[in-house]
């Protein structure tokens, strides 16, 4: 059965959706259109003259080894962030799904980090791991690790991945827990009677049954790692040392707002837009089809 509202006037339905449409058009499509237009333009340093240059901004971009490096870096970051936060969240969710004493408290505490804004996450981790101020840095150095993410690019990257993954664990945890609770308990009981030990039960029953959730979260986490890590990067490393933590999104910001190259920055954001559209397309296509079973 289909729910259908009947309107007397032909105009009323349009009037009712107009505010929503206005918000979408003004705040999403108009800026997006601006970015597309901007990406075909070249401005001088003072913004006095503007030339239409067709695809020159894009061509320059793909000739730039720094841009290529940023692409590779962004993908590596995404994989590391999605991989580590997904696996840790799944582990925590499986443990929190058991009937334990105080399980509600445990679950609530695990969800909290999601309420922390990305820049705050960055600041928190910097406090802990800043080479001279950080409380944990002392122990790392005591263990013989030459810890200095302000100078060492790999350590800076690790720091970003750590903070970004930590924040995302809560979100993933919530979905995994919901996914686990959606599986009838009797299926696990049947597997237990069928002689599957806990580890085997996990890999042959739990994991396959969670695969739609896992796939959904994988896409969400990649999108998160691509875009929402900006606040963390900006507070923790500002893309440094050198360009070792400059991701695609951070490069849009640093080339455009810091470097003043608005044309290139716009071209980069258009590329990112296309990327998001592709990712979302994949997600809709597969999640609609319920991937697994």
Partner 1 sequence: MANVTLRNVRKTYQGGFEAIKGVNVDVADGQFCVLVGPSGCGKSTLLRMVAGLETVTGGEIDIGGRVVNQIEPADRDIAMVFQNYALYPHMSVYNNMAYGLRNRGMAEAEVKTRVDEAARVLELGAMLERKPRQLSGGQRQRVAMGRAIVRQPKVFLFDEPLSNLDAKLRIAMRVEIRKLQRRLKTTSIYVTHDQLEAMTLADILVVMNGGQVEQVGNPLAIYEKPATTFVASFIGAPPMNLMSIGSDEIKSQLGGSATDAGILGIRPEDFVITDQTPAGGVALPLTVEAIERVGAETFIYGSRAQDAQRIAANPGELPPGEVIVRVPGTEAPAIGAKIRVAAVRTKLHLFSGDGRTRIEA
Interaction between residue 293 and partner 1 (CB under 8 A): yes
> Which range touches partner 1 (CB under 8 A), out of 26-34, 141-149, 181-189, 216-224?
181-189
Q: Which residue from 209, 217, 262, 272 is in contact with partner 1, where contact means CB under 8 A? A: 209
The position carrying tokens 């071209």 is 267
Q: Closest Cα to residue 224, out of 92, 89, 124? A: 89
Measured between alpha carbons, how far is 243 from 255 in angstroms, rounded to an integer? 12
The position carrying tokens 């009037």 is 15
Interaction between residue 187 and partner 1 (CB under 8 A): yes
Q: Which residue from 193, 199, 288, 289 is in contact with partner 1, where contact means CB under 8 A? A: 193
CB of 187 to partner 1, least distance (A): 5
CA 244 from chain centre, in angstroms, equals 19
Interaction between residue 292 and partner 1 (CB under 8 A): yes
State the alpha helices, DSSP H only, in the chain.
12-24, 30-38, 56-63, 65-96, 103-111, 118-129, 135-142, 153-182, 185-193, 198-201, 207-223, 230-236, 248-253, 262-289
CB of 283 to partner 1, least distance (A): 21
Interaction between residue 287 and partner 1 (CB under 8 A): no
Measured between alpha carbons, how far is 175 from 86 in angstroms, rounded to an integer? 10
Q: Which residue from 208, 242, 259, 281 is in contact with partner 1, where contact means CB under 8 A? A: 208
Interaction between residue 289 and partner 1 (CB under 8 A): no
Interaction between residue 189 and partner 1 (CB under 8 A): yes
Q: Which residue from 184, 242, 259, 281 is in contact with partner 1, where contact means CB under 8 A? A: 184
Interaction between residue 197 and partner 1 (CB under 8 A): yes
Angle between helices 103-111 and 65-96 (to 10 degrees): 170
Q: Closest Cα to residue 205, out of 213, 217, 196? A: 196
Instruction: Reduce the DSSP state of residue 147 to 3 states and report it.
Output: coil
> Which range touches partner 1 (CB under 8 A), out of 46-54, 169-177, 196-204, 267-275?
196-204
Q: Is 242 left (phi over 0), alpha (psi -120 to 50) or beta?
A: left
Interaction between residue 90 and partner 1 (CB under 8 A): no
> Which range touches partner 1 (CB under 8 A), out of 20-28, 72-80, 188-196, 249-257?
188-196
Measured between alpha carbons, how far is 267 from 105 in angstroms, rounded to an integer? 47
Output 44 or 194, the one with its CB closest to partner 1.
194
Cβ atoms of residues 107 and 96 within 8 Å = yes
Interaction between residue 191 and partner 1 (CB under 8 A): yes
> Which range touches partner 1 (CB under 8 A), out of 50-58, 105-113, 146-154, 189-197?
189-197
By CB under 8 A, the count of residues binding partner 1 is: 20
CB of 289 to partner 1, least distance (A): 14
Cβ atoms of residues 21 and 28 within 8 Å = no
Q: Which residue from 98, 132, 195, 289 is in contact with partner 1, where contact means CB under 8 A? A: 195
Interaction between residue 200 and partner 1 (CB under 8 A): yes
CB of 194 to partner 1, least distance (A): 4
Q: Is the dihedral of CA 146, 152, 155, 160 positive or negative?
A: positive
CA distances from 6 to 10, 11, 13, 246 (A): 10, 12, 10, 53
Binding site for partner 1 (CB under 8 A): 184, 186-187, 189-197, 200, 204-205, 208-209, 211, 292-293
């Amino acid at each position: 059965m289909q729910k259908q509202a009947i309107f007397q006037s032909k105009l009323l339905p349009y009037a009712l959706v107009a505010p929503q449409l206005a918000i979408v058009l003004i705040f999403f499509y108009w800026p997006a259109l601006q970015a597309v237009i901007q990406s075909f333009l070249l401005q001088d340093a003072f913004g006095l003259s503007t030339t239409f240059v067709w695809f020159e901004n894009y061509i320059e971009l793909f000739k730039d080894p720094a841009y290529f490096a940023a692409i590779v870096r962004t993908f590596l970051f995404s994989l590391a962030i999605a991989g580590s936060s997904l696996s840790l969240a799944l582990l925590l969710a499986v443990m929190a799904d058991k009937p334990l004493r105080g399980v509600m408290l445990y679950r609530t505490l695990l969800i909290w980090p999601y309420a922390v804004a990305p820049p705050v996450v960055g600041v928190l981790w910097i406090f802990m791991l800043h080479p001279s101020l950080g409380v944990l840095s002392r122990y790392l150095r005591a263990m013989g690790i030459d810890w200095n993410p302000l100078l060492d690019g790999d350590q800076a990257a690790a720091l970003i991945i750590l903070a970004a993954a930590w924040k995302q664990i809560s979100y993933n945890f919530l979905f995994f827990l919901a996914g686990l609770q959606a599986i009838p308990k009797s299926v696990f009981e049947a597997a237990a009677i069928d002689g599957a030990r806990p580890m085997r039960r996990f890999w042959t029953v739990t994991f396959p049954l969670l695969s739609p959730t896992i796939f959904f979260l994988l896409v969400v986490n990649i999108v998160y790692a691509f875009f929402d890590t900006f606040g963390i990067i900006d507070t923790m490393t500002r893309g440094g040392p050198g360009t070792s933590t400059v991701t695609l999104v951070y490069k849009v910001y640093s080339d455009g707002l810091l470097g003043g190259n608005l044309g290139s920055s716009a071209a980069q954001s258009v590329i990112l837009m296309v990327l998001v559209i592709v990712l979302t397309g994949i997600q809709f296509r597969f999640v609609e089809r319920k991937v697994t079973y």
